[in-house]
Structure 1
Amino acid sequence: MASRMRRKGSTFIQFRKRIPKDVLGKTGGVTLAIPVGGELLHIVIGDRAIEITGSLKTRDPGEAKERQAVALAYLDSVWQSLREGPKRLTQKQIAALAGEAYSGLISSFEDDPGSPDIWKQIVQLHANAMAGDQAERERWFGPSVDQTLATHRLVIDGDSRAALISAIGVSVSLASVRLAQNAGGDYSPDTVVTRFPPLELSKEVKPSQPMPKGSQTITGLAEGWWGEAKAAGRTVSTYDAYSRAARLLSEFLGHDDARAVTADDVIAFKDYRLSQGVGLKTITGGDLPGIRQLYAWGMANRKVSHNPADGVKVAKVKKKRTRDPDFSDQEAVVILSHAFNHKRTGKASEHLSNAKRWIPWLCAYTGARVGEMVQLRKQDIREEDGLWIIKITPEAGTVKDAEYRDVPLHEHLVEMGFPTFVSKASKGYLFMKVFGDTEDAKRSAWRSTKNRVTDFVREVVTDPAVQPNHGWRHRFRTVARDIGMPRDISFAITGHETKDEGDKYGTITNKAKAAALAKYPRYPMGLK
């Protein structure tokens, strides 16, 4: 029999399950990893224990009932495994489980892995752990093993566990090396993942129990929200950020049940992301707002009854600033010379080669975001009243605030032949090749090209304290101030939002923008 109760001194509902008599003599020393609300409740069964008790981490009777059902299903599978004897894993099964740990770590961080230096430090820490004794490896990789085993409700023998800890130690180390490469801009095909076989368990091992009927998934909240948000004009980049936050939260918790997520879960997720070296900007500007917004939508649409992200914050830490955020005069000249002298070689893509040649110059004279320039189409450049105009529009892709703006071409860009380049280009995107007509195909091409341009800039400006994308935006505003460009015109060119109500009256014409840009100093070209 199983029962629910409240432990003295705690408001959380507890569960209690007696150990079946026929396995009592086999449970001593067995390590359990009981799934409870997205967490793993680790319990080592004592030699004289006759029952298992633990917190369901909720005060809600309905949630407690569902969580208890999952916990008891896990325990039943443990008792059955003990009746049959701990499973001995084959070498192939160990390799497959290690592969799951590898893929899980990669999928969590490959889109935005952060600093290469962080991953290099992690690689060294893993190497030190692998060089230690079994106790050290257990301390470092044991939690990953427990989570992997809990996913499949497996109880394994001591020899299998020792082998699996070593295998997962190796796979996690390899994953860290791969993520260090990703962080450095290397997304070449992953040859390591092919070494891991698919997992094949014996028929006696019961699969994980499905989520309770009627449950709302975390990732499903993202899709439901996007169905409405897309119609309301929200950008694809916002959907990418929110859906990524939902996926990462689900992967961290080890389940996708939106109703089972607690504030403690979100706090643990936040702490985990911080421990992995993820920047505060990503967490406070993407992860937490995304989860909070998805649950707010879920509550408004009666998908969930609570918002676990409400009130969860990250302490603000003032970032150390060691230099100005814009490119220096020397850095600007080096980048633009690098672009001017770029030549297509070998099998390099013509679109990408054109991107490396023109995008740094376009950003330098417009203060635009790299992503806005990457998605320029032939039809977005026009001649009007003797002026060449770039139209930065959400029709082409992602534009912050979903508002278009016109930016006249600086005379230097005209003299360099950018309009001629555009006139000779094929219809469609100037700088990216899209394979397919889906939004995913466009986003993939956009992201890939943006990253390659970033890598191209990093070839000559390696200082991590300056951003290859926003460095031009900061520099444009700096130069604009130096030459006395009116702020409202400068903001109209760069697309910055003004808080001055007076700036919002009237229209800033392309003629006014062109006149201001005519005073913007020219950069030297062709330097080697």
Structure 2
Amino acid sequence: MAGKVRYLCPRDGRYHARLVVPKKLRGIVGKAELRTPLGGDYRQALKLLPGAVAQLQHQIAQAEQKANAGKPQSDPARYPLAPAQMAQSHYMQRLAFDDELRNDPRWPGVGIDDLLVKRLRDAIAGHANDAELGALVGAQIERFRAAGNLDAEPGSPEWREIARALCHAELEALARVAERDEGDFNGTPSSPIIKDAHPPEEAPEPVSLKRLWADYVTMRQQTGSMRDGGKQLGLAVEKLREFVRHDDAARLTKKDIMAWRDHLLKSLSAQTVSSKYLSTVRSLLNWAVENDKLPENVAASVKQAKPKRVQAREKGFTDAEALKILKASRLYMPHKDEAGRIREKPHMIAAKRWVPILGAFTGTRVTEITQLRKEDIRQEGDHWIARLTPDAGTIKTGEYRDVPLHPQIIKEGFADFVNDAAPGPLFHHGTDAARYVATATQISNRLAEWLRDKELAPEGVRPTHAWRHRFKSQCIELGILKRVYDAIQGHAGRDASDNYGDVSMKAKIDAINKLAFYDLS
């Protein structure tokens, strides 16, 4: 759908050509905007518009020359037009001028120069040199230059393209004049450069990418997501702004997104570009479209193929691998320096001791374990329960869940550890609740590094997810209902029926207690 015609201002059934005066020139022009009346007929206003706009732009250009007196002119054109738009403007001006001349009694004595027609056709065909082009349309080019519509140097390829476009306009205008001399005022241009040209449209209002992202994060936080304020995913938006060198989402094109993707691939994996960068921008722009902030999502169809992951083994730890990790965790002793001092933080030592066995018997996300607080662990009768809650950091589903702890965890002394701990996080040193997610994530990442450094996590296995895979495999082998182990692990149901009824604590405890003890002797 075509946008509003640029510079055309309808007001009370009448039309005007309207141009806003740049702030720095208003003192010279004496006005904040310039207007020229075009009458009440829309079609006639469109005919008169190009000439009126050209005159207004010329006034702006003259004011700019006064403001820059004595300074070299190196700025780009203030009101740039494409060659086809200049050709259409010139064509419309010629016809408007023809309408005016036909009211003059001397007009019948004016004829069409056949030699001029031939010279214009030769120029259109590319047979005219720069001098000939200058003789034919050089004055018109300079008028467009004075109005701020172009900055092409004479003789340059851009200048020649504009000149040939204006020759098209001159020839088409002469053809209309000949038709009008015969009484036919219904003629239309046949040259594609005139026929298919679109008048300049009003530029869309700028939409700040930075502001758009802030609003998007606010919306997501209202639904319980992005508790980190969008810091991690916000990097994608910042990278896009840096690449396109502006902050206007309305100016983004599909080509911009494709070029940005190709740029990212020079330093990032296809998986990261697809899953983090493109996905984030696509979701942001889609939300902007849904909320009428943008007319379209230019990133909607921009994708990046991801290499198919080669799975050479199971995703979870094997029995032997699990046993090896749990023994290393149980026997872990922090390193002492030459002075006998322990440099490692108590929270990190505790994470290495307890997080692996908690993961082994709950299948919970590692970061959900490393963000546990003392107040999240409670005893009910003979059973100990961990509450995984968004209050401690982040929960992927956005909902708290209670997970019973296996008897072996308690037998190993976890309850005593909790009782002796100070209030607050058990496995990280965060003191600001707003920073819990970041600090808990740091601990889980360091824990994964420790497992790799000690060669406890085999190649091809993700330490932060391997316990989850192993737990699920064990539950399947033991015949535990999917609904129950999904509730323990925090996996959402796949259909509506999964949302009816609650998985009771007894059902969870019975499931957890089916898991065999590990022989850590």
Q: What's the offset of the Cα at 1:324?
A: 1.2
Q: Is contact 1:366–1:407 with CA below 8 Å preserved after alignment?
A: yes
Partners of 2:207 and 2:404 in 1: how far apart?
49
Asked if residue 465 in structure 1 is aligned to residue 460 in structure 2, the reply is yes
AA aligned opposite 1:411 = P
Asked if residue 339 in structure 1 is aligned to residue 333 in structure 2, the reply is no
Partners of 2:429 and 2:458 in 1: how far apart?
30
Compare CA radii of gyration and give the structure with the larger one. 2
The corresponding residue for 2:212 is 221
Asked if residue 398 in structure 1 is aligned to residue 388 in structure 2, the reply is no
| SS at structure 2 position matched to 1:400 | coil
- Given the superposition, is the C-alpha separation of residues 402 and 478 from structure 1 closer, same or farther in structure 2, using an over 3 Å criterion? same
Q: What's the offset of the Cα at 1:498?
A: 2.4
Partners of 2:447 and 2:519 in 1: how far apart?
21
Asked if residue 314 in structure 1 is aligned to residue 304 in structure 2, the reply is yes
Partners of 1:461 and 1:53 in 2: how far apart?
70
The corresponding residue for 1:445 is 439
Partners of 1:397 and 1:465 in 2: how far apart?
28
Normalised by the length of structure 2, the TM-score is 0.59
Asked if residue 521 in structure 1 is aligned to residue 516 in structure 2, the reply is yes
Q: 1:354 aligns with which of 350, 353, 359?
A: 350
Asked if residue 493 in structure 1 is aligned to residue 483 in structure 2, the reply is no
Partners of 1:306 and 1:220 in 2: how far apart?
18
- Given the superposition, is the C-alpha separation of residues 381 and 60 from structure 1 closer, same or farther in structure 2, using an over 3 Å criterion? farther
- Given the superposition, is the C-alpha separation of residues 6 and 325 from structure 1 closer, same or farther in structure 2, using an over 3 Å criterion? farther
Q: Is contact 1:284–1:313 with CA below 8 Å preserved after alignment?
A: yes
Asked if residue 249 in structure 1 is aligned to residue 232 in structure 2, the reply is no
Q: What's the offset of the Cα at 1:453?
A: 1.1
Q: What's the offset of the Cα at 1:501?
A: 4.5
AA aligned opposite 1:298 = A
The corresponding residue for 1:484 is 479
Q: What's the offset of the Cα at 1:451?
A: 1.3
Q: Which stretches in structure 2 are left out of the alignment for 5+ residues?
A: 1-75, 86-151, 162-197, 336-341
Q: What's the offset of the Cα at 1:479?
A: 1.2
Pairing 1:59-208 to 2, within 5 Å after superposition: none
Of residues 350-359 and 298-307 in structure 1, the stretch that sits farther from structure 2 once superposed is: 298-307
Q: What's the offset of the Cα at 1:62?
A: 5.9
| SS at structure 1 position matched to 2:397 | helix
Pairing 1:244-393 to 2, within 5 Å after superposition: 244-280=235-271, 282-315=272-305, 317-345=307-335, 346-393=342-389
Partners of 1:313 and 1:494 in 2: how far apart?
31
- Given the superposition, is the C-alpha separation of residues 295 and 503 from structure 1 closer, same or farther in structure 2, using an over 3 Å criterion? closer
Q: What's the offset of the Cα at 1:452?
A: 0.9
Q: What's the offset of the Cα at 1:408?
A: 0.4
Q: Is contact 1:242–1:291 with CA below 8 Å preserved after alignment?
A: no
- Given the superposition, is the C-alpha separation of residues 464 and 408 from structure 1 closer, same or farther in structure 2, using an over 3 Å criterion? same
| SS at structure 1 position matched to 2:379 | strand
- Given the superposition, is the C-alpha separation of residues 400 and 62 from structure 1 closer, same or farther in structure 2, using an over 3 Å criterion? farther
Q: 2:407 aligns with which of 401, 404, 411?
A: 411
The corresponding residue for 2:146 is none
String of CA shifts for 1:359-386, please: whole Å, max 9, x gaps.
Answer: 1111111000011001101111111132
Partners of 1:470 and 1:52 in 2: how far apart?
62
- Given the superposition, is the C-alpha separation of residues 354 and 483 from structure 1 closer, same or farther in structure 2, using an over 3 Å criterion? same
Partners of 1:53 and 1:457 in 2: how far apart?
68
| SS at structure 1 position matched to 2:463 | coil
Q: What's the offset of the Cα at 1:432?
A: 0.7
Partners of 2:221 and 2:501 in 1: how far apart?
30
Partners of 2:270 and 2:324 in 1: how far apart?
28
Q: What's the offset of the Cα at 1:520?
A: 0.5
The corresponding residue for 1:506 is 501
Q: Is contact 1:241–1:287 with CA below 8 Å preserved after alignment?
A: no
AA aligned opposite 1:387 = H
Q: What's the offset of the Cα at 1:461?
A: 3.1
| SS at structure 2 position matched to 1:376 | coil
- Given the superposition, is the C-alpha separation of residues 406 and 344 from structure 1 closer, same or farther in structure 2, using an over 3 Å criterion? same
Q: What's the offset of the Cα at 1:220?
A: 2.5
Q: Is contact 1:335–1:461 with CA below 8 Å preserved after alignment?
A: yes
| SS at structure 2 position matched to 1:407 | strand
AA aligned opposite 2:460 = A
Q: Is contact 2:330–2:353 with CA below 8 Å preserved after alignment?
A: yes
Q: Is contact 1:222–1:242 with CA below 8 Å preserved after alignment?
A: no
AA aligned opposite 1:310 = A
- Given the superposition, is the C-alpha separation of residues 284 and 220 from structure 1 closer, same or farther in structure 2, using an over 3 Å criterion? same
AA aligned opposite 1:453 = L
Partners of 2:269 and 2:289 in 1: how far apart?
29
Partners of 1:363 and 1:477 in 2: how far apart?
12
String of CA shifts for 1:132-182, please: whole Å, max 9, x gaps.
Answer: xxxxxxxxxxxxxxxxxxxxxxxxxxxxxxxxxxxxxxxxxxxxxxxxxxx
Partners of 1:503 and 1:395 in 2: how far apart?
25
Q: Is contact 1:408–1:513 with CA below 8 Å preserved after alignment?
A: yes
Q: Is contact 2:397–2:490 with CA below 8 Å preserved after alignment?
A: no
Partners of 2:316 and 2:255 in 1: how far apart?
39
Q: What's the offset of the Cα at 1:317?
A: 4.4
Q: Is contact 1:235–1:399 with CA below 8 Å preserved after alignment?
A: no
Asked if residue 424 in structure 1 is aligned to residue 424 in structure 2, the reply is no
Q: Percent identity?
A: 34
Q: Is contact 1:218–1:258 with CA below 8 Å preserved after alignment?
A: yes
Partners of 1:53 and 1:326 in 2: how far apart?
68
Q: Which stretches in structure 1 are left out of the alignment for 5+ residues?
A: 9-44, 67-213
Q: What's the offset of the Cα at 1:240?
A: 3.6
Of residues 268-277 and 369-378 in structure 1, the stretch that sits farther from structure 2 once superposed is: 268-277
Q: Is contact 1:241–1:286 with CA below 8 Å preserved after alignment?
A: no
Partners of 1:388 and 1:360 in 2: how far apart?
17
The corresponding residue for 2:225 is 234
- Given the superposition, is the C-alpha separation of residues 438 and 497 from structure 1 closer, same or farther in structure 2, using an over 3 Å criterion? closer
